[in-house]
Amino acid sequence: MKFQSTPNRCISHQGEQIWISRSVTVVPVTLFVVSNEEAYVPLGKRGTDLPDEQGKWGLAGGYLDYDETAGGAVVREIWEELGIDILALQEKYRFEGNLEQPYFVYSEPLRRQNVTLRFPLMFFLESAAELPKLQPQVSKGEVVDARWYALKDALSMQLAFNHQDVMRQCLDIHYQGIWPST
């Protein structure tokens, strides 16, 4: 996949790394339900080149580039960190979610970003369908590994940035009545 966005950049100043970015992150809660029963979530293991939560598993996500939409950033981050083309999957499977409207906006400058946008993405696969292959497109310094986890197992893990709580909130707020939360 090719993206038209202008990437963020990092500069060094007095021995400190400073990211020049839009200070807005996207966190897609990407879930795959097989046969309307078992749900799975793709997680990436954070690499040593990242400033926070190294070695922890977490949802794909990251900063908006300079000239991209929030939905464009969701598509790009999932592609880069997991190797999943969600636009192609939207054409192939039933999809519940929204790439244009986050279900939750968090605006508190605790880390490097001032605003976090959380997006719901749920795909429903038939029983014969296989989960998409995970193949990160970034260096091992950013994503060491990517794996599928049963949602019930991921919810009990200690994920980067408390992503287990982010998934619970998405299930409770956005998918209530669409798919049962665990």
Domains of the chain (ranges, CATH numbers)? 23-173 (3.90.79.10)
Query: At residue 77, what are phi and psi to the nearest 5 degrees?
Result: -65, -40
Query: At residue 152, what are phi and psi to the nearest 5 degrees?
Result: -60, -35
Nearest-angstrom CA–CA distance, 67 and 35: 38
What is the pLDDT, as a whole number, of residue 182?
46
What is the pLDDT, as a whole number, of residue 22?
58
What is the pLDDT, as a whole number, of residue 110?
62
What is the pLDDT, as a whole number, of residue 33?
95
Nearest-angstrom CA–CA distance, 149 and 152: 8
Tell how far CA 21 is from the center of its chain: 18
At 180, is the secondary structure helix, strand, or coil? coil
Written as tens digits, the pLDDT of the chain (182 aa) is 777 666 767 778 888 877 666 588 999 999 999 988 899 999 999 999 988 899 999 999 998 887 889 999 999 999 999 999 999 999 999 999 999 999 999 887 665 657 899 999 999 998 878 999 999 999 999 999 999 999 999 999 999 999 999 999 999 988 888 877 44
What is the pLDDT, as a whole number, of residue 11?
77
